[in-house]
């Protein structure tokens, strides 16, 4: 199995139910020393933070504010999907950072489907504090709790420059 784990025990590999589709990230990180003129600087990126706990979303927004062009928040999956659709028309989000469990019965995977449809080059990152049992192989995962440095390191892996 090919899990991309960030910030947790890399040897843990939960089984993936056969009924779940494999969702792979749409962008790949740059290797060390590799530069790409087509890649933005982190300071030019737009980030959408989706978390049904407003304090968690606001904390991530504060952590990112000085390092990205914009960091917006959504507290529900429906709000996130509307924001993703609107952003796809006028300049997409570069990253979506989404809590696994959202309002009602929706999960990050529901939001990711919309990202794949509306903005396939957007990097989708799932965050959770309870584990990754429900995540398909290849999903980018960030274990909660995580600090600003770990978040910036993960985001910076997709760009040719380190965070300012």
Q: What is the per-residue pLDDT across 94-144, written as a single tens digit (0 to 9) for each?
A: 999 999 989 888 889 999 999 999 989 899 999 988 777 778 888 899 999
Cα torsion through 44, 27, 24, 152, rounded to 10: -50
Q: How far apart are CA 80 and CA 18, in angstroms?
A: 28
**Cα–Cα nearest to 127, from 155, 108, 147, 99:** 99
Q: Which CATH architecture has domain 41-156?
A: 3-Layer(aba) Sandwich (3.40)
Cα angle, residue 70 at apex, residues 123 and 48 outer, rounded to 5°: 40
70 within 8 A of 47, measured Cβ to Cβ: yes
pTM: 0.74
pLDDT of residue 162: 41
Q: How far apart are CA 110 and CA 31, in angstroms?
A: 30
């Amino acid at each position: 199995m090919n899990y991309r784990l960030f910030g947790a025990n890399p040897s843990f590999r939960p089984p993936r139910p056969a009924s779940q589709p494999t969702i792979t990230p749409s962008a790949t990180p740059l290797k060390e020393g590799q530069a790409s003129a087509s890649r933005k600087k982190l300071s030019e990126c737009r980030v959408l933070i989706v978390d049904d706990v407003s304090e968690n979303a606001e904390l991530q927004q504060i952590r990112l504010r000085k390092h990205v062009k914009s960091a917006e928040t959504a507290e529900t999956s429906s709000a996130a999907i509307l924001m993703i659709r609107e952003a796809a028309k006028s300049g997409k989000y570069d990253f979506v950072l989404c809590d696994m469990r959202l309002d009602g019965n929706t999960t990050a995977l529901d939001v990711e489907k919309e990202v794949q449809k509306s903005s396939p080059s957007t990097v989708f990152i799932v965050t959770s504090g309870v584990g990754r049992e429900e995540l398909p192989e290849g999903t980018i995962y960030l274990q909660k709790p995580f600090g600003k440095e770990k978040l910036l390191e993960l985001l910076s892996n997709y760009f040719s420059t380190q965070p300012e």
